[in-house]
Amino acid sequence: MRMRPTLSWTAGEDALSGAVDPAPVADALRAGGVLVLSGAGISTESGIPDYRGEGGSLSRHTPMTYQEFTADARARRRYWARSHLGWRVFGRARPNAGHRAVAAFGRHGLLAGVITQNVDGLHQRAGSADAVELHGSLDRVVCLACGDLSPRRELARTLEEANPGFAPTATTLNPDGDADLTDEQVGDFQVVPCTVCGGVLKPDVVFFGESVPPARVALCRARVDAATSLLVLGSSLTVMSGLRFVRQAASAGKPVLIVNRDPTRGDRHAAARVALPLGAALTTVADRLGIGLDD
């Protein structure tokens, strides 16, 4: 049976009023031991849209589920055509002030680590080398038959060779790295198999409807245990994969702070929510702490 992902959440009476002064975030970082949990909202200033914010991709786009991808060859063709085109743009995205601020906080010893729900690799490019990629990364491809891992750039080259002249126009990129294409634009796009065993290739990311690997969840839970506080950046916390860490921190009596312009599903567990764009908020915090983003 196919399962549909949790795509929406409606704010209730427990939603926090958004503050416009990031002082609580600066205070938490000053004390040190902060664990960052980031979502798609931190990458919007790099040109990658989020799922649920204003103009978010879910208003026009339903992400591929794991069940659809594994069960339907036509769905895989559609996914890889869209993803191959989107990768050309996605791969050129660069870290913004929010990513650089998180990396700077880490270099100054203020963080207990970074967990990101994003698959764009921008935290790592900014300098947060030890960020845990909760949902994986589009930089890698995995074979569902033999488990072989390979760089995405190799698959991109193979797909170019298998689909000469494939260059439809797509104006919209989605947070999962694919572009909006019609069935006509997808056409007879050729999907390529694993070069090791001939199996089905999938990006090494956790699709909607798929579970985060238990070992990765355990690693993240250990980081929550070791942290003094939890700082959520740019996530609505709609899906349980991120919300569970907020609940864990709150249950342990650790302060939870959220920087997100809209209410989140984790507001009831938070001490404060700052309703500012991530780049501006974190740049202000860095200034107050006397930290340059490139220090």
**Residue positions in the annotated binding site for NAD(+)?**
39-59, 117-120, 234-236, 278
The whole-angstrom separation of Cα 6 and Cα 262 is: 18
First-to-last CA distance in the chain?
A: 51
Tell me the binding residues for Zn(2+). 143, 146, 194, 197
Query: Token pair for residue 37?
Result: 């949990």
Instruction: Tell me which residue of 219, 74, 201 sits closest to 144, measured CA to CA.
Output: 201
Across 85-206, the runs of DSSP E, i.e. the strands, are: 111-116, 132-133, 136-143, 149-151, 201-205
> Token pair of 167, please?
């260059």
- Give 38's strand partners: 116, 233
Tokens for 48? 């990658």
61 among known catalytic residues: no
**115 DSSP 8-state letter:** E
> How far is CA 292 from each of CA 34, 107, 108, 254, rounded to the nearest angstrom?
18, 11, 10, 27
> Cα separations (Å) of 88 from 91, 220, 224?
6, 31, 35
Cα separation, 251 vs 243, whole angstroms: 12
CA distance 109 to 131: 14
Residue 236 in 3-state DSSP? coil
Kindly give the interhelix angle for 278-288 and 97-107, rounded to the nearest 10 degrees: 30
CA-to-CA distance for 259 and 278, rounded, in angstroms? Answer: 7
The DSSP element (H or E) to which 125 belongs, if any, is: helix 122-126
Catalytic residue selected from 61, 99, 135, 269 = 135
Q: Which residues are catalytic?
A: 135
